[in-house]
Amino acid sequence: MKLPRRVPWSSISELEQICSWIYTDENDLEAKVLAINRLSAWRATTYLPHALESALSILVTIVQDNLLQVPSSHLSLRQSYSTAIIRLVNGLVDPLQLGAYARSIASIASQLGLPPWLVELRHAATHEDLPSIDLLREAARESMVWLLHNYFLPTINPSSISETQAPLRPLTPILKQYKSLLKITTRDASLKTQYKPAVLAVMKDVDRWMAEAKVAANVADSGLEWEYSDSEINLEAGEMDGKERWALERLCDGLLEKGALVPLSKKKREISTDSFHPPEFSVQLWTPLLQHLQHLHGDFFTILCSRIVFMLLSRGSSVNNEGENQVDLSYDMCLARWAVWSIEALEADNLRSDIDLRKEVTLSLMQSLGHVATGIRHDRRGATFLLESLCAGSPQLEVALSMLQKISGSTTRPSSWSPEDIAIMNQRLNTLLSFDVDTSSRSQSPSQNPLSVSSDMMDSEPLPGWRLLQETNGWKPCPIGVHCKTIR
């Protein structure tokens, strides 16, 4: 759940009024002055979002440009326009430098949908001669249009704006490139020095992909997040965790596809039953990248295990019997082994003492598998084997696992009836039929109650089960909850 954030307007209608002042008539300077006054009043009482701060700077410059028609003032106007556009671009791009390595401003701006020529104009205004006044005026108009479609309209009426996903590069080609390089250096150790720069470059490319994924998470999460500056209050940390988790989940999904952590060939997934670890060659290939990601992102192994558990448990969600035959058991077993490897690697790292990943995964598996008391199913065998491996060596967990298995085994329904079961059922049927009484010989009560029982029948040997009582046996009607005499 997203935490509430403070906004300068008391109702969304105030922001809508400012939007109408700015964009209804481009030549209406009085309306723009009203918008400037309202934004200035908001800024005097609270911090403005970066979008409104940039809109205020550009509006002030536009009004000055229209009121002061003096050629000698073009230099000051060029400086004002340049400053406003530089602050707009920098304020959008800098908060999204989320990776371990810096990304180009152009790549981040392209993900935000910012026109590339505005980025080039920002570079020229910062490091080169100031652009011409005509070019800066056009840049100001383009910037205001971008703010209209990317801030004002989505904020005023989010439901009317279709959610657009930021472009995200595919991860598979990067992982394939890494895998091919590591195969060469793993098979021939003498080539490690030669291919080390290429391997490091691929790892940096993975880190850049993570940074791009965080930007995509920012856009996918109901549009652009126009946060306040860090000088006001640090709300970014909590929300950034959610964006990083989203990016790590997408990264783990790419790693868990067939051909990455799990070999594409089923023969390469074959491993000895002595240890519950992935294939040795796969461990040699992917350990450098996995440890690198864990070093940069402390929750990587935790997210990886959670995605593996989710994939293993989701096998049992299908009710189609035909789908159960299509489960790739070797793939699920390899995923389970990678989960065990991640847990042991995190325990050996000793850097995350605040979380017991083995305990958390075990509890999650027990809770999910405990609800399905139908024995070991083919589609959930990978999750069952993962649970058994995590419980091995811990007396308390082994006791809990044995209890869970007993409960599952006791509630298992047989697939077919045995002859002994049929004989027992026939014996019970004959016993019930032996107590059949001719209803025509029953004496009717004065009230002709078909449920009444005669005294002769009550004096005879009682039938097993419930009996109907009469007043002659000491029964009498009474309200519910009042003690009355009963015959046992």
Lowest model confidence (mean pLDDT) among 135-139, 146-150, 464-468: 464-468
Boundaries of every domain in the chain = 12-160, 172-228+237-410, 451-488
Query: pTM of the predicted model, to two decimals?
Result: 0.58
**365 and 309 in contact (C-beta within 8 Å)?**
yes
Confidence of residue 436 (pLDDT cuts 50, 70, 90): low
**51 and 151 in contact (C-beta within 8 Å)?**
yes
341/343 Cα distance (integer angstroms) = 5
Q: What number is the average pLDDT over the span 254-270?
A: 85
Check whether 415 has a pLDDT greater than 60: no
192/156 Cα distance (integer angstroms) = 56
Q: What number is the average pLDDT over the span 224-241?
A: 40
**105 and 92 in contact (C-beta within 8 Å)?**
no
Query: Would you tell me how many other CB atoms lie within 10 Å of the CB of residue 120?
Result: 13
DSSP H helices in 24-131: 29-45, 50-67, 74-93, 105-112, 116-127
Instruction: Identify the H or E element spanning 16.
Output: helix 12-23
Confidence of residue 178 (pLDDT cuts 50, 70, 90): very high
Query: What's the pLDDT score for residue 177?
Result: 92
Check whether 393 has a pLDDT greater than 50: yes
Interval 399-412: pLDDT, tens: 777 777 666 554 44
Check whether 480 has a pLDDT greater than 80: no
Q: What number is the average pLDDT over the span 455-471?
A: 57
Query: Would you tell me how many other CB atoms lie within 10 Å of the CB of residue 18?
Result: 22
**246 and 252 in contact (C-beta within 8 Å)?**
no
**36 and 56 in contact (C-beta within 8 Å)?**
yes
Confidence of residue 71 (pLDDT cuts 50, 70, 90): low
Q: Choose between 414 and 63: higher pLDDT.
A: 63
361/31 Cα distance (integer angstroms) = 60
371/258 Cα distance (integer angstroms) = 29
Interval 339-385: pLDDT, tens: 889 888 888 876 555 567 788 888 888 777 765 544 445 567 788 88
Check whether 445 has a pLDDT greater than 70: no
Q: 3-state DSSP call for residue 9? A: coil
On the 0-12 / 13-18 / 19+ scale of CB atoms within 10 A, 130 is middle
Interval 83-119: pLDDT, tens: 888 888 888 887 777 665 667 777 777 777 788 888 8
Residue carrying the six token digits 């005097």: 44
**3 and 238 in contact (C-beta within 8 Å)?**
yes
Q: What percent of the chain clears pLDDT 70, i.e. is strictly above it?
A: 70
Interval 179-227: pLDDT, tens: 999 999 988 888 888 989 999 999 988 888 887 777 776 655 544 444 4
Q: Return mean pLDDT, the chain.
A: 75
Query: What's the pLDDT score for residue 176?
Result: 92
Check whether 274 has a pLDDT greater than 70: no
| CA neighbor of 287 nearest in space, from 255, 249, 264, 311 | 255
Sequence-separated contacts (24+) of 391-397 with Cβ below 8 Å: 391/362, 392/276, 397/362
Q: Choose between 82 and 395: higher pLDDT.
A: 82
122/204 Cα distance (integer angstroms) = 27
